[in-house]
Amino acid sequence: MLRKCLMVWMLVVIVSGTVLAQQAEVGSRRLVECPTAGLLPRGSFDLDMRMYSEGGILAGVEIGLTDRLLVGLSYGGTDIIGNKPVHWNPRVEVEAKYRLSDETKLYPAMAIGFSSQGFGRYDENLKRYATKSKGAYVVLSKNYSFFGRLGIHGGINYSLEKEDGDDDISGFIGIDKGLGSELSVLAEYDFATNDNGEGSLGSGKGYFNAGVRWIFASRLSLEVDIKDLRKNGKRNAEPSRELRIVYMEYF
């Protein structure tokens, strides 16, 4: 019941007009794991690297093909750092995002997308990542001017990782709050209704993640994230700490 109330509340906030709303281009393209309606500028690309638990590294590239279309590839594995045999992910994963409508003073930006990239160790038996990929999704994003930029985001998704027997539609909500020109704080909640069955890796509490992003150069950012603060993962004894570096450039 709480999840349904939170989802309805977030969608109402996003679509509501308010005197705090500003007509601005959507900021971040992703929170910690959850996508937003933000895109790269046309003719630009970014290089994204995450370092996570179990010696994991995930590297990716995203390209802004047009003002409305973004595509990307990513690949990585666990035990890359350390002295154990490397456990590579089974394939290169893909991402695509298309913005259907831009943000206005009254309405949020809307984007549809697909991402096959999950997060954490890949389970060969269940054919899934520790946190499932978003799969096909629809996301809304709205920016407000409230002591600096405040972004509110929410969406629904359907993952293709369903060998665990749980193929429900899921959803996610999140915020990013600018603190001056360099720092942002991030928070997101993945309802993970597709990861709460008997054979799933989730325990039914959903995934709550938070982070701090520091843009210390015009095109370079450093991010520190803490994931699964509610200890939803059945195999996670404690929340995990991760480091992310993103560099953006133009062709």
Residue 198's pLDDT is what? 85
Q: How many domains does the chain fold into?
A: 1
Residue 190 CB contacts under 8 Å (≥ 6 apart), including other chains: 33, 34, 131, 170, 172, 206, 207, 208, 209
Reference 28, options 225, 215, 157; nearest CA is: 215
Reply yes or no on whether the pLDDT at 5 is more than 90: no
Cβ atoms within 10 Å, residue 108? 26
Average pLDDT for 215-219 = 86
Average pLDDT for 141-145 = 93
How many Cα atoms are found within 13 Å in the side-chain-facing hemisphere of 229? 11
Residue 235's pLDDT is what? 83
In angstroms, the CA 27 to CA 3 distance is 26
Angle at 51 between CA 227 and CA 69, to 5 degrees: 85
Q: Could you give the 3-state DSSP secondary structure of residue 7? A: helix
In angstroms, the CA 152 to CA 188 distance is 10
Look up the domain containing 36 and give its range.
2-250
Reference 134, options 97, 187, 79; nearest CA is: 97
Residue 104's pLDDT is what? 93
What are the tens digits of pLDDT across the range 175-193?
A: 999 998 899 999 999 999 9
Q: Is 151 exposed, middle or buried (0-12, 13-18, 19+ CB in 10 A)?
A: buried
Reply yes or no on whether the pLDDT at 23 is more than 50: no
CATH, residue 181: 2.40.160.40
**Model-level pTM?**
0.87
Q: Could you give the 3-state DSSP secondary structure of residue 54? A: coil
What are the C-alpha distances in Å from 246 to residues 29, 48, 167, 173, 240?
11, 4, 32, 22, 20
Token pair recorded at residue 210: 């938070």
Owner of token pair 């069955």: 197
Residue 18's pLDDT is what? 41
Q: Per-residue confidence at 32, pLDDT binned at 50, 70, 90?
A: very high
